[in-house]
Amino acid sequence: MRLDSVFVSTRAIIHVDMDAFYASVEQRDAPSLKGRPVIVGGHPKRGVVLAASYEVRPYGVRSAIPMARAVKLAPHAVVVPPRFKAYAEASEQVFGIFESFTPLIEPLSLDEAFLDVSGSMGLFGSPGEIARRIRARIAAEVRLPSSAGIAPVKFAAKIASDLAKPNGQTEVREGELLAFLRPLPVSRLWGVGPKTEQTLTSLGLRTVGEVAACDPAWLERRLGTLGPHLWRLGNGIDERQVVPDREAKSMGTEDTFEEDLRDPDLLRARLHSQALRVGRRLRRAGVKARVVQLKVKFSDFEVITRRATLEAPTDDGQALYREASALFERVEPGRAIRLTGVSAQDLHSGGGQLALFGARPRKTEALNAALDRIAARWGTKAVTTADLVEAEPERDPDPESRAAGASQLDPGERKGRL
């Protein structure tokens, strides 16, 4: 079988990934942190690293390792507690830029997404030019670095963005796909973890090209159904489509608090912030929700959910918050809580049946449209509610005090901050 006849793609896919996202937001918002080793994480004794700036990575600090280990590896690093609201706001701005180039956006997390720009080239130029324009706007409007991979298939676009980091982009054109993949180590194949990599190595397969050259039936006998899957990827065959966010069955957001919270007012403020964020996402996607779900994780890691069905679909964050707050009344009081989340479910395009008195919905929609315009230009903090201002005070103006293990990480001094 000729490899060049296996799969012909006409798609142009971009994978955009923000560079050290949480750490970059902290360095952006505190200029004294620029160029310094920064660790975003929780308490040094029980937390994990959420993000590590590129300046601290040479010391072996990476995301998801225990904070206690990270502090030992880089005792000179600046430890910054996470600010999830700031990250969510930056993410909304980034995704707003994506939407100005294509509606085909598949979010993978707050800081990365696949974009299918196959139908956008007539307006914005080649896939490489579109990626450059997206990254330039992110740099200018959000003041954050990003990397991009461009390829005819998702699998290769993701690898290309990884290789482009930090703050770069790599393009793999249609005729270059197999040549790009062949020399890569087998660990780059999706589905290959340490154990599978060891198995492949024992079979004499160390590169993607060596896997691609195998008989797929032979691979299946040794690896089961994973074998043909790896053969297909090795030959650049990845038929998965970019699945837009607007087609999702639900939209939601959740935050893990740096400290467990008991104060009902602080917890409701967090729910309020989350509901407003979900409302903005619904409006941006052009959908409305009929169901609201509240998620609560207690300090002992028990998780509960509560759901309510609305009389009519909505994209109004305040309406979502009212339902979430009512659901919160059904949660056992007094228990320490480490996470809350609000999600909108049973999504519908457009609106549902109007209420008996139509003026109020029209006023609400006009208000939300005005707030969305303000947020798009000035950020979500430009206009906010009193409970959010009181619950989330401004950042400590003295970043020099954020040394590893400093007292600002102690629960008594961090109350009221995410």
Catalytic residues: 112
Sign of CA pseudo-dihedral 374, 80, 110, 161: positive
Strands, E, within 242-383: which ranges? 250-261, 287-298, 303-314, 337-349
List the alpha helices (DSSP H) in 207-358.
208-212, 216-223, 226-234, 264-285, 317-328
How far apart CA 369 and CA 189 sit, in angstroms, is 44
Total Cβ atoms within 10 A of residue 268? 18
**Side-chain-facing half-sphere of 55: CA atoms under 13 Å:** 15
Whole-angstrom CA distances from 297 to 253, 254, 412 are: 14, 10, 21
How far apart CA 124 and CA 165 sit, in angstroms, is 24
How far apart CA 354 and CA 362 sit, in angstroms, is 10
Cβ atoms of residues 326 and 308 within 8 Å: yes
Whole-angstrom CA distances from 395 to 80, 92, 375, 398, 418 are: 10, 20, 20, 9, 11
How far apart CA 272 and CA 251 sit, in angstroms, is 15
Write the DSSP string, 186-197.
Answer: GGGSTT--HHHH
